[in-house]
Chains A and B, each alone.
Chain A
Amino acid sequence: MDEGKPIFVQIAEQIENDIISGALPEEGQVPSTNEFAAFHRINPATAGKGVNRLVDAGVLYKRRGIGMFVAEGARARLIEGRRERFQDEYLGPLLAEAAKLGIDRQQLITMLEKGKNA
């Protein structure tokens, strides 16, 4: 796991990734907090904090006595949110590194084209 982020944030992001990839389908049941804790070998309270973060965000919802489910429309909303952050989180660092190495705009475009065909 990435040491830079709190563990509960990493748990939440991992669940988000599984929803985006479709591994956890909408209206499908997600593992329980205790199952997440056992799988990742972390304290159940930490796992619970990660799950609750997604409940608060409306990505997951609880059905009393049954468990936790992926909300309808969660995938589209997560993708939308990730797209909005893409500029800051991915392009920003990429451009900064390119500037540091003296890679100009044209070279970057060439690399992007090459990457697309790879």
Chain B
Amino acid sequence: MNAVVEVTGLSKRFKDVVALDDVSISLHENTIHGLLGRNGAGKTTLMQLLTGQDFPPHGTVRVFGQHPVENAAVLRRICFIKESQKYPENFTAGHVLRSASWFYEGWDQGFADQLVGEFRLPLKREIKKLSRGQLSAVGVIVGLASRAPLTFFDEPYLGLDAVARQLFYDRLLEDYAEHPRTVVLSTHLIDEVANLLERVILIDQGRILIDDEAENARRAATTVAGRADAVDAFAAGREVLHRSGLGGLSAVTVRGRLSAQDRAAADAAGLDLSPVSLQDLVVRTTSGTDRKEVA
């Protein structure tokens, strides 16, 4: 698997807050990645460094094998769609799409036109008069129609309704299948995108907790439920991510993939095993308290 992006030992600090803490990851070519984590986890900081908007203070960043900062050859191949995108005064959505069509080599005007219709985007209205959802649609259309070899979507759907979000996911999958490229989807709506992802990167308080295939991440934890004494016996010696109880019953989420013997033992003890969804895994592994403040 070719790496489109390689990051080693990347750290960044804002005053007394560690935004990224010794991050080493690679993004695989022609793969859809989910970049997951809570607000302030470091997702946007990481994407800003990968898209050359800042020099890495510590560590190295290589995109298509090169430094991204002020590197036109690299930046032309990157599309970064962010929630807080600013546009020039008096720009209309039509102006934005036309500018994008000049910038991106892979731009598909037919696809852009189709998306404008599907998202019902008014092209002649000034950007500042668009609704929040229409503004997000502008970003989504640019991100899809640009067909950039490396495309970042940073919370691209603020204000988009469920229909529009599903449209985004469907068009992303279809177009990715026809025109494979590297995609990074940063989102809080994990359940909605879980099946779209091939790899998952989970970041918390600046550190990478998971960097794995989505299928492995889905099996990274299991919930064990049943009589409290049996559950406790099963969970002994395992890393417990979450625990809840009701009367004599207990449910415990343990980390690690269970072996066939584990499953047989659980079965014999009358315990129910259930997989933990990606969203629950993220909630369970990142719901600890803050450790970011540096003394």
Contact = CB atoms under 8 A, between A and B. Distances in A.
B114 interface: no
A25 interface: no
A41 B169 contact: yes
Given A6-B218, A38-B170, A43 B275 contact: no
Contacts of A40: 195
Q: Which 6 residue pairs of A and B lie closest in terms of their CB atoms, listed nearest first?
A: A34-B177, A42-B195, A44-B177, A45-B198, A43-B198, A3-B275
B277 interface: yes
B161 interface: no
A5 B32 CA distance: 21
A37 B178 CA distance: 12
B36 to A, nearest CB: 15
A46 interface: yes
B214 interface: yes
B74 interface: no
Contacts of A45: 31, 198
A4 B219 CA distance: 9
Interface residues of B, number: 20
Interface string A1-27: 001101110000000000000000000
A37 B218 contact: no
Contacts of B275: 3-4
Interface in B207-264: 214-215, 218-219
A25 B123 CA distance: 48
Given A3-B275, A6-B215, A38 B177 contact: yes
A43 B196 CA distance: 5
Contacts of B176: 44
Interface residue SS majority, chain B: helix
Nearest to A40: B195
B174 A41 contact: no
Given A3-B275, A43-B32, A38 B173 contact: yes
A3 B274 contact: yes
Given A4-B274, A7-B195, A37 B177 contact: yes
Interface of A: 3-4, 6-8, 33-34, 37-38, 40-46
Contacts of B277: 3
B215 A8 contact: yes
11 contacts: A3-B277, A4-B274, A37-B177, A40-B195, A41-B169, A41-B195, A42-B195, A43-B196, A43-B198, A45-B198, A46-B215
Nearest to B267: A96
A45 B198 CA distance: 7
B173 A37 contact: yes
B197 interface: yes
Contacts of B195: 7, 40-43, 46
A33 B218 CA distance: 22
Contact of B174 (A8, A38, A43, A46): A38
B274 A43 contact: no
A24 B197 CA distance: 28
A44 B219 CA distance: 20
Interface in B152-199: 169-170, 173-174, 176-178, 195-198
A40 to B, nearest CB: 8
Contacts of B196: 41-43
Nearest to A5: B275
A41 B274 contact: no
